[in-house]
Structure 1
């Protein structure tokens, strides 16, 4: 019988913490994904490993399985480390490059203690998922959301930055003179998508939540082209992360959003069963930089996240 190591790792984490929530946090996955992995492992083995009630307890079978499971994971980790002992850099694909994701990785590296990283440019999240599961990259960085991939629960992810987004408007837009806008103020404007709407989950969620019915899809020809289109289309706007490095396009103004403040959730995602040995160092560096720069501050009374992002926190 071939065991799925991600499922075995999920069981070992629950056995160690005796708590599904704490185990999910330890593996940086959702509690639902963790529960599914354990349930699939039990189904494959044809035996119940855990008793679920007010707490979590190991069954007799679970106690027998635990130590061999731990040895199997240690052997798998040692095998991966042996292959990667040549010091190959940690490969991280960044997607949604219009939103400038590489700057967050760069800030963590500049802060020190981060490993050597080799950045790649992925097209979108589904492309990153496929590359991770094929072993072509070690991690991905961008906004994680549901892909419907049949093996999506084999991946772990951790939010590392919640970034406010600004509204970008042409100077002739009726709202361009405001110092701050509420998202609901944009309900009568046209939201420009820099690519196909099906690939831009955050913009779709924003438009649905704040009543922006006028939406126009485009082709991603870069930030300069997007901002020039915003300037030239009457009543148009788009959203971009507040700290993104944007080209200077005359006639375009960035206006902060508040009441609530929409936040764009950046996450690192990786294959839980094939972790590069330097991945923990990158996660630590991102966490330390995030604490120093308050990247993960979130108040549901003040801020807005799409429901899936809020659940991931």
Structure 2
């Protein structure tokens, strides 16, 4: 039998969301149209794939068996289309973690690599949504679980993190600072801390109970807030170029040195024909610059990053 891929796509989205409204919204169709597509697919197969009852949407046993092969069929179809239509268009890549300047690494790796169309995701969840929907081909930033099952990621850089604080901070004269010495200071977060996973886990690991949250209005605003309050400190990768500000100090963190983990993220079904070249370019640059060196005695990574470092370093 020949399957209608529009019907298969409707089923897969409904099975992943377990909610007809959200699945219909992703496809930009009505719930009624979504239901009709799935009903026609079930009629073609002669099996009920989804149960719709008072407790919501659930996969039947046949639906569970059909789901993964259905995903593979859609991936193969997408790749067939991409082989014809995508060869000439730029590779679309989003970055996030803007305060930490991800473009520094991306520019170093890709020049003079494949043609890129750059975008800016707000955060990891928004980037994941863009990848899943096919709006972008790849993304670059800090990745942590859980991820969508259809995505693949690769750790490409572990970057030492410095503490940034006011010249009037009690520790501003130190040549280097242990993270534990910051317990009496206030961590300044450029956004809700529960959405800034690295900063949240740093504070939890080193017993920093005082936190202040603001809006990410860029590096200049971030540094101005630090300069205005000698109790506060922030964290920035050591390689981020800071504007000349006599009221600000950037000091290395040691014993241990926190590392910020940068990863490349893409759909597991491949996609754009230049994606392999981009992944290879990242791997070569990481090896050339020893970006993946990690010593658990000397360095600190959030627990959820440690598995990535162990497998890739």
CA contact (8 A) 1:178 1:255 kept: yes
Greater shift after overlay, 281-290 or 246-255?
A: 246-255
What RMSD, in angstroms, separates the aligned Cα atoms of the two structures?
2.7
Q: CA deviation at 1:169?
A: 1.0
Larger Rg: 2
* TM-superposition CA deviations, 1:93-132 (whole Å, max 9, x none): 011111100110100123x5x2111211111111101111
CA distance in 2, matches of 1:237, 1:71: 51
Runs of 4+ in structure 1 over 3 Å off: 1-4, 41-46, 69-79
Pick the aligned partner of 1:240 from 224, 231, 236.
236
CA distance in 2, matches of 1:164, 1:235: 23
| 1:295 counterpart residue number | 291
Q: CA deviation at 1:272?
A: 1.0
Asked if 1:133 is matched to 2:132, the reply is yes
* TM-superposition CA deviations, 1:209-251 (whole Å, max 9, x none): 0011000001111111111111111211000011012322331
| 1:189 counterpart residue number | 185
- TM, length-normalised to structure 2: 0.74
CA gap 1:42/1:182 in 2 versus in 1, 3 angstroms: farther
CA distance in 2, matches of 1:106, 1:246: 18
Q: How many residues align?
A: 253
Q: CA deviation at 1:273?
A: 2.2
* TM-superposition CA deviations, 1:132-182 (whole Å, max 9, x none): 1111111111001235x6xx1211111100000000011011101111111
CA distance in 2, matches of 1:197, 1:302: 26
| 2:96 counterpart residue number | 95
Pick the aligned partner of 1:44 from 45, 61, 64.
64
- Alignment map for 1:68-107 (pairs within 5 Å): 77-85=79-87, 87-107=88-108
| 2:109 counterpart residue number | 108
CA distance in 1, matches of 2:73, 2:264: 27
Give unmatched runs, 5+ long, in structure 1. Answer: 5-40, 47-64
* TM-superposition CA deviations, 1:58-78 (whole Å, max 9, x none): xxxxxxx9xxx9999766533
| 2:36 counterpart residue number | none
CA distance in 2, matches of 1:71, 1:203: 40
- TM, length-normalised to structure 1: 0.74
CA gap 1:45/1:176 in 2 versus in 1, 3 angstroms: same
Pick the aligned partner of 1:157 from 153, 157, 170.
153
CA distance in 2, matches of 1:194, 1:222: 9
| 2:34 counterpart residue number | none
CA distance in 2, matches of 1:72, 1:187: 51
* TM-superposition CA deviations, 1:268-288 (whole Å, max 9, x none): 111112521111101111111
CA distance in 2, matches of 1:76, 1:274: 9
